Structure 1
Amino acid sequence: MKPYIDTTELQAGDILLMRGRSSLSDLIAWFGDSVYSHAAVMCSDTHFVEAAMPRSRMVALDERLRQTDAYHFIEVFRPTADDGNPLDEVQRERLARAASQQVGVDYPVDMLVQLAAVAVVRDRIPEDGCLRWLLRELVDHLICFDPEHMVCSELVYQAMRQAELAPTIVVAARLDQPFPDVDVRELVREWLEARGAGSMGQGQALMPEPVNEEELVGAYHRLRQERRFVAGGFSPHPVPDPNPATILPVDLSTSPQVRRLGRLRLLAEGMNG
């Protein structure tokens, strides 16, 4: 695999996973236990769709490659069919249409707080892979998916699901990324700026439907009856019906239906040889 790939090799449907340079990006990567802080999906061979504030948009890839002050790197992943074969032209076109239909969706700034708490409890605290799988199943029942408000990886997964190409999501091994050295003042500034820019700027948060203790215990017992747990060691556990609202960049990067192609060369890197 080449360390860098040319932009001419990209296709509609390819997934872009990025690492931003801001303090907020560092925190997003940490709570998602990943090196990535942002996700997008190509809707053609030159443009991609991403969730952004105040709402999702279509962006020219060349424009993003010039934003070296905002991104450390951009990597390309290519989805495949269930059998591991490349997507055909019809499937890529279907995915491109689904991605384009996500343009204009509001970005729920306050949802990031809820997603961060969910991710830390679900993916970082438990040592056992089976327990992380169980927590994910329970959390997916508690969080509401609202297609009118989506963050970045949620939007990518939803486009793939609408195109009937949703990748298998697994509970992968922990990376155990160290907590980032965050500039708190800068983080607060970014957060306040983001809240003011979005449609959720008045402090209205998307909250999950209330679930009482009896429902939670019932969900746990149903899962115990329906699933068998693998004892000893770690192996990836497929998530049978993932909730798009809890999809993170790491879920896209570790899916068995997604292949890493390589890293795009930012334009500043190209100018430096």
Structure 2
Amino acid sequence: MRTGDVLLMMGEGPLSELIAWASDGAYSHAAIVADAGDLIEATTGGVVRTPLRARLADRDHYRFIDAVRMDGGHGPGLEPADAAAVLARAASLLGMPYPVDELALFGVIMAVRGKWPRHALGRLLVRVALDHALPDDTGRVVCSEVVYRAYAECTAEPAGRLAPVIVVGERGTAPFPDIDWKRLLEQLWPLLGPRDRQALEPARTALLAGTEDGAGLPGLPVVGDDELEAARRAALGRAGLLAGEGGRPARLDDPGTVVPDPNPRLVSPQDLAASPSFVPLGRVMQRDASHA
């Protein structure tokens, strides 16, 4: 692996499944290869360095990992000066406080894609995720934002020359995933505030008691399309990009359209996977069925 290569990962767990479904893709996490055998990524503990070897061996938390490489214009790979600039920008993001969790990444993707599940608990979780998305504190980042900004904001001349091209993706037809709702709520609970916990407490109680499977949970508020759309517009407004006012959300139904001046906070792992700026290197880790 070379400095600047991007790792696209499918994590383990129901929230990762929701992120992949919402983005019409196969990935829930992204990281950039640094130097000294490390990668740089945003996690719940901050923007950190992680040993690359350890990640490629982590079959407990990741199902598979694919790698892509920037097309530097003279074949795949960056010139040494460009690689150094990308690494320097990625390293400058290390230690950023209060990074956004996976629930917020799910909210970011839902704000852009606007896919509403039919399942009552799924709709409530989307509503909660949209409130978590794109917080006003600009010091918070999602994993794919770190990768995008490392390229787009580095010192390579002219400015923005290495910014990955982002295009509107195809609308997927995959059904809503068969979610383990009990496990999902266990994963989400530490990320929720008091108001969200109060809304989800009846569902959590029923699931923990084993009396429901998520299909007909009691006490759930009804979340309509209008409420979800209003929450979506509020999330996009916090990013300074309202649906229908130019930019990406206005062209969701026009696959292949290049997004001009993408907002880094709206870039998803699937956007990086679909970017024509990157060349696929192939799968670098695959968990076998016996490990599931």
TM-score w.r.t. length of structure 2: 0.66
Letter in 2 for 1:107: P
1:20 is aligned to 2:11: yes
Structure 1 residue aligned with 2:268? 248
Structure 1 residue aligned with 2:257? 237
- Higher mean alpha-carbon deviation, 74-83 vs 155-164, is at 74-83
CA deviation map 1:25-79 (0-9, x unaligned): 1011111111001000111262111110031211001111221111111110001
Specify which of 101, 105, 111 is matched with residue 104 of structure 2.
111
Structure 2 residue aligned with 1:175? 172
- In the superposition, relative to structure 1, how do residues 249 and 89 fare at CA in structure 2: closer, same or farther (>3 Å)? same
Letter in 2 for 1:115: V
Structure 1 residue aligned with 2:220? none
Contact 1:38/1:249, CA 8 A, preserved across alignment: yes
Letter in 1 for 2:37: T
CA deviation map 1:183-220 (0-9, x unaligned): 11111111123458xxxxxxxxx966579xxx969x74
Instruction: Tell me how far apart the structure 1 counterparts of residues 259 and 75 of structure 2 sit (CA, whole Å).
Output: 18
Contact 1:73/1:263, CA 8 A, preserved across alignment: yes
Letter in 2 for 1:176: T
Contact 2:7/2:65, CA 8 A, preserved across alignment: yes
Specify which of 3, 8, 21 is matched with residue 30 of structure 1.
21
Contact 1:11/1:45, CA 8 A, preserved across alignment: no
SS in 1 for 2:40: strand
SS in 2 for 1:171: coil
Structure 2 residue aligned with 1:6? none
1:96 is aligned to 2:87: yes
- In the superposition, relative to structure 1, how do residues 175 and 67 fare at CA in structure 2: closer, same or farther (>3 Å)? same
Instruction: Tell me how far apart the structure 1 counterparts of residues 31 and 163 of structure 2 sit (CA, whole Å).
Output: 15
- In the superposition, relative to structure 1, how do residues 171 and 192 fare at CA in structure 2: closer, same or farther (>3 Å)? same
Letter in 2 for 1:248: S
Q: CA RMSD in A?
A: 3.4
Letter in 2 for 1:173: E
Q: For residue 82 of structure 1, report the CA deviation from its aligned partner.
A: 5.7
Letter in 1 for 2:262: P
Q: Which runs of 4+ in 1 moved over 6 A?
A: none
Structure 1 residue aligned with 2:71? 80
Where structure 1 has 5 or more consecutive residues not aligned to the other structure, the ranges are 1-9, 126-142, 197-205
CA deviation map 1:204-238 (0-9, x unaligned): xx966579xxx969x74xx59xxxx9xxx966110
Instruction: Tell me how far apart the structure 1 counterparts of residues 72 and 66 of structure 2 sit (CA, whole Å).
Output: 20
Instruction: Tell me how far apart the structure 2 counterparts of residues 101 and 150 of structure 1 sit (CA, whole Å).
Output: 13
Contact 2:111/2:236, CA 8 A, preserved across alignment: no
Instruction: Tell me how far apart the structure 1 counterparts of residues 108 and 32 of structure 2 sit (CA, whole Å).
Output: 21
SS in 1 for 2:44: coil
Instruction: Tell me how far apart the structure 1 counterparts of residues 263 and 2 of structure 2 sit (CA, whole Å).
Output: 26
Letter in 1 for 2:99: Y
Identical aligned pairs, as a percentage?
32
Letter in 2 for 1:14: D
TM-score w.r.t. length of structure 1: 0.70
Letter in 2 for 1:259: V
Give the structure, 1 or 2, with the largest relative contact order (CA under 8 Å, sep 6 or more): 1
Structure 1 residue aligned with 2:187? 190
Contact 1:57/1:104, CA 8 A, preserved across alignment: yes
SS in 2 for 1:159: helix
Aligned residues: 221
Letter in 2 for 1:53: T
SS in 2 for 1:35: coil
- In the superposition, relative to structure 1, how do residues 261 and 148 fare at CA in structure 2: closer, same or farther (>3 Å)? same
Contact 2:111/2:235, CA 8 A, preserved across alignment: no
Structure 1 residue aligned with 2:38? 47
Structure 2 residue aligned with 1:5? none
- In the superposition, relative to structure 1, how do residues 43 and 189 fare at CA in structure 2: closer, same or farther (>3 Å)? same
- In the superposition, relative to structure 1, how do residues 85 and 260 fare at CA in structure 2: closer, same or farther (>3 Å)? closer
SS in 2 for 1:16: strand
Instruction: Tell me how far apart the structure 2 counterparts of residues 210 and 18 of structure 1 sit (CA, whole Å).
Output: 27
Instruction: Tell me how far apart the structure 2 counterparts of residues 11 and 249 of structure 1 sit (CA, whole Å).
Output: 19
Contact 2:168/2:254, CA 8 A, preserved across alignment: no
Contact 1:145/1:244, CA 8 A, preserved across alignment: no
SS in 2 for 1:111: helix
